[in-house]
Chain A
Amino acid sequence: MVRFKNRYIAFEITFGDKSKKPVQLKVTTLHNAIQQKVQRLYGDFGVAAIKAGFTAKYCNIHTKIAIVKCRHGPHKFLINAIPIINDIAGRLVSVKILYVGATMKHCFLFIKKFQQQKLEQVWNTLKTETERENMKDALMTLTPAMKDCT
């Protein structure tokens, strides 16, 4: 039995510009941004190669972490293209790949760990108990899709 190998790429987006516009991060805009970058780097062939099974799976606005799925093989194009994305829907961004996994579950497990670490870093700087609770809520809340997998 031959199965299709997939790769899930988890990455973090940091917004570069200082403007305090509310951050709009949608699955479709992310999808388009990546596709444009691959088009610039690899041309028509690259876009055609990643087309099969390429979807932006998950997008968290609070933590600014997103996951995209693609087939094993063309995922190499994505790994090269994602770090040099500097523009998502007109906003200046810098993107850092956190993890490349073979299942959604492992990606989410990694993200959980990653968020835990982040929380520990800021824990001491916060004074009151309510501030700490708020921070914990902001960082550790998972979308329903994520909860199913973990």
Chain B
Amino acid sequence: MDIRESTGFYDLCVNVPENKIQNLYPVLSKLCEYGFKTIAINTDIDESVLGTNKKKKKKSGDSEISQGIVFETIDIENIRKEFDGRLKIFNRITFFCSDFAKTHILNHCSSLKKYDLYAFAPKTQNALQCACTHLNADIITLRPNLVSFKLNKKLYDQAIERGIHFEIQYVDLLNVEFRKTTIHYSHLFHTYGKSKNVILSSGSDDIKTIRNPYDLINLACLLGLNEVQAKASILYQCKRLLLRAERRHRGKAAFIIKDCTKNRSVIEEDSQCVKRLKA
């Protein structure tokens, strides 16, 4: 797999509506119309998928079984072809978990390697703590419909140091029930770490809940981000996140070298002109 370059506005969480890929096309074309350039298609995985395998694991060799777990993945190759040149499409997995031990099983899964981004949604305070301190994930996303979490400065700093990003999904802001909790969490990021490493994504599966990126930048001031951070949260921060995800994949730091031969030829032509003039 090549490192794919990414540009433009990012929306790193798009859910598939009702698990039907056909419904995804209008959503994606809407995103494209609004000016998003890079998106990630999300798959939710609950820990119960792995839970059934745990019993088997005790009977036989552990790594073999856990490697055999296959969960439903969306075939994104077709979508990539469809939107080639318009959208860069990544795929991401969100793992809902309350027991931290389950993440080790997932780490052994071969199908995890198919995903570009690995998001972790803790279900308990304990899982959140472990995730901040030693989970090798890219994103931690705090879902407001689960139990209420408590952050502290130390946890947040540890997560930042390890390059983990925190995610705010604006679909929760449109929902009356979860609006308060979502704003509350994003204010926690602000008070504990000045909103470092915060990204904003849609998390939507409906065409009606998608918003224009410039509106999102304005919306972000409600969430305790300043103007620079607001723009970064859907641009540069996401770019950094994708590079970091690449690093997690390969165990190396990733950076992109661009071919600049065109520029050099212009300079050469220029110097030749100068030579000609001198002659």
Could you tell me which residues of chain A, from 21 to 49, have a CB within 8 Å of some CB in chain B?
44-45, 47-49
Shortest distance between the CB of A41 and any CB in chain B (Å): 15
Shortest distance between the CB of A13 and any CB in chain B (Å): 26
Chain B residues lying within 8 Å of A71, measured Cβ to Cβ, are: 191
User: Which of B80-88, B134-142, B176-184, B271-279 interfaces with chain A?
Assistant: B176-184
Could you tell me which residues of chain B, from 182 to 219, have a CB within 8 Å of some CB in chain A?
182-184, 187-188, 191
Report if B222 contacts A (CB, 8 A). Answer: yes
Chain A residues lying within 8 Å of B180, measured Cβ to Cβ, are: 44, 47-48, 51
Q: How far is the CA of A52 from the CA of B179 in the complex (A)?
A: 15
Q: Which of B179, B184, B191 contacts A4 (CB 8 A)?
A: B191
Q: Chain A interface residue count: which class?
A: 10 to 19
Chain A residues lying within 8 Å of B4, measured Cβ to Cβ, are: none
Which of A44, A47, A71 neighbours the largest number of chain B CB atoms within 10 Å of its CB? A44
Shortest distance between the CB of A42 and any CB in chain B (Å): 11
Chain A residues lying within 8 Å of B153, measured Cβ to Cβ, are: 2
Shortest distance between the CB of B157 and any CB in chain A (Å): 10
Chain B residues lying within 8 Å of A2, measured Cβ to Cβ, are: 153
Main secondary structure of the interface of A (DSSP, over half): helix
Chain A residues lying within 8 Å of B179, measured Cβ to Cβ, are: 44, 48
Q: Interface size (B, Cβ < 8 Å)?
A: 12
Establish whether residues B183 and A52, one from each chain, have CB atoms under 8 Å apart when the complex forms: no
Shortest distance between the CB of A95 and any CB in chain B (Å): 24
For A64-97 the 0/1 string (1 means CB < 8 A from B) is: 0000000100000000000000000000000000
Q: Which of B176, B181, B182, B187 contacts A49 (CB 8 A)?
A: B187
Q: How far is the CA of A51 from the CA of B191 in the complex (A)?
A: 12
Establish whether residues B191 and A49, one from each chain, have CB atoms under 8 Å apart when the complex forms: no
Establish whether residues A48 and B187, one from each chain, have CB atoms under 8 Å apart when the complex forms: yes
Q: Which of B176, B187, B222 contacts A52 (CB 8 A)?
A: B187
Establish whether residues A48 and B181, one from each chain, have CB atoms under 8 Å apart when the complex forms: yes
Establish whether residues A48 and B184, one from each chain, have CB atoms under 8 Å apart when the complex forms: yes
Q: How far is the CA of A132 from the CA of B177 in the complex (A)?
A: 55
For B210-248 the 0/1 string (1 means CB < 8 A from A) is: 000000000000100000000000000000000000000
Shortest distance between the CB of B32 and any CB in chain A (Å): 31
Chain A residues lying within 8 Å of B181, measured Cβ to Cβ, are: 48
Establish whether residues A49 and B188, one from each chain, have CB atoms under 8 Å apart when the complex forms: no
Q: How far is the CA of A45 from the CA of B186 in the complex (A)?
A: 11
Closest to A2 in B: B153
Chain A residues lying within 8 Å of B182, measured Cβ to Cβ, are: 48
Shortest distance between the CB of B170 and any CB in chain A (Å): 14
Establish whether residues A45 and B222, one from each chain, have CB atoms under 8 Å apart when the complex forms: yes
Shortest distance between the CB of A27 and any CB in chain B (Å): 20
Q: How far is the CA of A52 from the CA of B148 in the complex (A)?
A: 12
Some 10 contacts from A to B, beta carbons below 8 A apart, are A2-B153, A44-B176, A44-B179, A44-B183, A45-B183, A45-B222, A47-B180, A48-B181, A52-B188, A52-B191
Q: Which residues of B contact A (CB under 8 A)?
A: 153, 176, 179-184, 187-188, 191, 222
Given contacts A44-B179, A52-B184, 14 further A-B contacts (CB under 8 A): A44-B176, A44-B180, A44-B183, A47-B180, A48-B179, A48-B181, A48-B182, A48-B183, A48-B184, A49-B183, A51-B180, A51-B184, A51-B187, A52-B187
Give the top 6 A-B pairs by smallest Cβ distance, nearest first.
A48-B183, A48-B180, A48-B184, A51-B184, A44-B179, A44-B180
